[in-house]
Chains A and B, each alone.
Chain A
Amino acid sequence: MMKEWLRVFKAGLSIDNPLTVLMIGLCATLAVSSQVEGSLFMGFAVIFVLGMSNALIAALRKVIPSQVRIPIFIVIIASFVTVVDLFMKAFFPPIYAVLGIWIPLIVVNCIILGRAEAFAYHNTVWLSIADGLGMGAGFSLVLVGLAFIREFFGAGKIEFMGATVLRMPEGYAAPTILMMFPGAFILFGFVVAIVRALSNRSTARKAA
C-alpha cells in the first residue's frame, strides 16, 4: 500500500507534473513566479488546499451525486482557500502583502478542481492525499524554479524575508521582460522543452 502511495505521489512530481506535463494552473504560475519568496508560500498554500480538498472529496465521493459534483467540489475548495486566506492575513501579513489577490484565486486554479474531478472522486482517501501532496509539490517545484530564474536574471537579485540572498555583479542590466508576463511565458516554453527533451531521452534509453 505504501508503494502505491509513493507511486502516486511521485507521479505528481514527474510524469504527471501539473505544470510541465498536464499544463494546468498556468495563469497563477505566470503571475506569482516573479519572486522566490512569494512562490514558496504560494506553493505551501496550494499543497495544503490540494491535500485537504482531495482528502475530503475522496471521503465523500460515495455520497456526492455525480450530477451536482462540480458545485460541491467548488464549495469545498473555496472554503479551504478562504481558510488559508484568513489565516495568512492574520498570522503572516508580510507574505499576504506579497501574494495578495493570488491566494483567493487558488479557488479557480484548475489543478485543484482538475485533481478533484480526475483523481479524488474515483480513488480512496489515502491515495487522494498522495495525489494532492504530489501534485502540489510538483507545482511548487516548477513554480519556485521559474521564480528563481525570473528573479535572479530579471531583477538581478534574490530577496528572501527582507534580506538579499544572491546578487548579480554590479553593472548587470536586468532584462525587464523576464519580470513581465510575456517573458514568463517564453521562459516557461523553454522549461517545458527541456523537460520534454530529458524525458524523451530517458524513455529512449529505457527502450534501448
Chain B
Amino acid sequence: MKSSALRLIIPVVVTCIVAAAGLAATYTITQPLIIAQEKAAEEEALKSVLPDADAFEAVDAATLAEAAGVAGDSKVAAVYHARDESGESIGWGIKVGSRGYSGYVEMVWGLDRDGKVTDLTILKMTETPGLGTRIKTEPGFLEQYRVLPGGFAEKDLKELDMISGATKSSRAVRDSGMAVSAVYEKVLKAAGEVR
C-alpha cells in the first residue's frame, strides 16, 4: 500500500512531467519561427532607417564590446556597417535599448558617415499602451530626432521636446540618442575609414 505522502507527490510529479513535455514540444515548434520573426523585424528596421543601403554587416566583437562600453546605461545590442550597391560604406545601423517606464525600449538608429541621423525606429517596447507608446505614434516626436545635425551631442538632445504624460518613455528615446552619439563619437568616428 502506498504511503499518504506518495499519494500526494505522484500526481504533482506526473502533472509536471506531462506539462514539461507539452511545453518542450511547443517550444521546439515555435522557437525557429520566433527567431525568424525577430530577425525579419530587425532587418526591416535596418532597411527602413538606411534605405540606400544594400548590405548590412555586423561589426566585429571587439568593436561591439567597445560600443557597449561607451553607451552608459543603454544597451548596444548590435552595430551594423551599411554599404550601398557598389560596396561603398554609407553609414551604420545601431540597435540600442534604453530603460523606459516599463522595461527597455529597443530602437534602431541609422547614421550616415558624418554621424547624422538618417532615420530611427522603435523595434520593441513594453510601454503603457496608448500612453508610453505615443513615443512611436505622436506626430513630430520622432521627427525631431531625424533632423539632428551630424555629430549631435547631449546638449542637442536635451533641447528636444518630451511628450507630457510619457516623460519616462520619451526619456528612453533621448537616452538611446545619447548612447548612439557616444558610440559614433568615441568608437565609429575614432576608427576612421577602417570600420
Q: Which residues of A contact B (CB under 8 A)?
A: 31-32, 34-35, 38, 63-65, 67-68, 71-72, 75-76, 78-79, 82-83, 86-87, 89-91, 93, 97-98, 100-101, 150-151, 154-155, 176, 179-180
Contact of B130 among A35, A87, A100 (CB under 8 A): A35
- Does B144 touch A at the CB level, under 8 Å? no
When C-beta atoms are compared, the residue in chain B nearest to A178 turns out to be B130
Which B residues are within 8 Å of any A CB, using their own CB? 7-8, 11-12, 15-16, 19, 22-23, 26-27, 29-31, 33-34, 37-38, 41, 102-103, 124-126, 128-131, 165
Interface centre among A31, A68, A76 (most CB of B within 10 A): A68
Given A90-B34, A90-B37: A34 touches B15 (CB 8 Å cut-off)? no
Taking chain A's interface residues, is the majority helix, strand, or loop, or is none over half, making it mixed? helix
Q: Which residues of B contact A32 (CB under 8 A)?
A: 129
A154 touches B11 (CB 8 A): no
Report the bound CA distance from A90 to B41 in whole Å: 12
12 chain-A/chain-B pairs, Cβ below 8 angstroms: A34-B131, A68-B8, A68-B12, A71-B12, A75-B16, A83-B23, A83-B26, A86-B31, A90-B37, A98-B129, A100-B103, A150-B130
Residues of chain A contacted by B34 (CB below 8 angstroms): 86, 89-90
Name the residue on A nearest B35 (C-beta). Answer: A90
Contact B129 A34, beta carbon cutoff 8 Å: yes
Contact of A86 among B11, B16, B26, B38 (CB under 8 A): B26
Within 8 Å CB of A64, what residues of B? 11
> Complex Cα distance A93/B124, Å?
10
Inside 8 A of A176's CB, which chain B residues have their CB? Answer: 131, 165
Say which residue of B7, B15, B23, B125 sits within 8 Å of A72 (CB atoms): B15
Chain A residue numbers with a CB within 8 Å of B130 are 34-35, 150-151, 154-155, 179
Beta-carbon contact of A91 and B15 below 8 Å: no
Q: Which residues of B contact A101 (CB under 8 A)?
A: 102-103, 126
